[in-house]
Structure formats: structure tokens, C-alpha cells
Amino acid sequence: MPMTIRSYQLEKLVEELQPERALSYNPIFQVMFVLHNATGAAAQLPNVTVAPLDVDTGISKFDLALSLVEEADGMTGYLEYNVDLFAEETMRRFWRHFQTLLVSIAADPNQPIAAFSLMEEDERRQVVVGWNETTAVYPNQSIHQHFEQQSAQPSGQSYLFGQRLGNHCPRK
């Protein structure tokens, strides 16, 4: 069923919804995705050369904005983000994950979206296997026996109750 998209002025929408306002963020949304896929002809004026110009304002109007531009030989894009919220390395990883997803989709577009990975195989292996290497050797005893053994050794603070530190050793 096709959807009808109605056009609203942002000011009118804010007036109708009356969201909580703050100067530090947009009142309706903080994340934006833009796909520039219109192939408009360049403006032609007599004795004037007109060309698009990318302008970097040095600030982000949103917490996160991803813009893609369709071109004859593929797509280009850029990521704009609030540096107070995101570290540069986080955004680089986000961009790599997005590229990995797009390449996977282009290679096999008939797969369900859940079948695609955001991570390359080496990163996935690090996250799933490497960071889960938590094998530890424990004594061959039950948990309550191990607890009793550990609590019998006075080794500093055992518990904190309110503002009082305590050390519990079982009575002999």
C-alpha cells in the first residue's frame, strides 16, 4: 500500500507537537539520513558558470547526519556528527560498518537484512571470540566451599555497610 507523505513546515510541526525545547538540540529529531538522488540539471545563466560547492560550516545541526549522493558511477557520502557526543574513532567505525553493510547488500540483495553483518570478519572474530576469552582456573570445589575458604582469609575490606567498613571472618 503506498504511503502519502504530507509536507509540513518544521515550525508548524513544533507548534503542534509542543515538544520540550532546549537550545542544545533539535526539538523533533536528532538523527538525519539524506539521500540525494535527484538528477537535476545544472542551472545555466548567460555569462555565468554555476557549479555545486560543498561547504563545511564546522558545526553539526544534528547529533548525527548521514548524507549520500547518487552519482553516475556510484555513491559518495559524508557523515556529520556532534563532537561533544561522539569520538572520531567511533564515527570512523560507524562509517566502516555502514560501508560493509552496503557492500554486502550489493553483493546479494535478496538476503534478508538480518543476514548481513556490519563488521568485517576480523573485527567480528575479535568481538565474539577475542574479547570473550575469559577462561579461568577455579579450584575443584563447590561455590559455597570456595566462598567459605575465601572469607576465612582476612584480606582487608570484605563488605561495606552504610559508611562502616567491615571484615568478616567466621568464628572458630
Answer with the residue of higher pLDDT: 159 or 53.
Answer: 53
Task: Give the CA distances from residue 141 to residues 134, 145, 146, 147, 154, in Å, rounded to whole numbers and listed in that order.
Answer: 19, 6, 6, 10, 20
* CA pair distance 36, 74, nearest whole angstrom: 12
Extract the C-alpha cell encoding 2: 503506498
List, in sequence order, every beta strand (DSSP E) within 37-107: 64-71, 74-81
Count Cβ atoms within 10 A of the Cβ of residue 48 and give its class: 0-12 exposed, 13-18 middle, 19 or more buried: exposed
Q: Where are the domains of the chain?
A: 8-39+58-85, 87-124
Q: Which three cell numbers stand for residue 18?
A: 509542543
- Is the pLDDT at 107 greater than 90? The verdict is yes
* pLDDT above 90 as % of the chain: 28
10: its cell numbers: 518544521
Report the 10 Å Cβ neighbour count for 81: 19
What is this structure's pTM? 0.59
Three-state DSSP class for residue 83:
coil
Q: How many residues does the chain have?
A: 172
| Nine cell digits for residue 31 | 538523527
Q: Using 50, 70 and 90 to split pLDDT, how confident is the model at 22? A: confident
Alpha helices in the chain (DSSP H): 10-17, 88-107, 121-128, 143-151
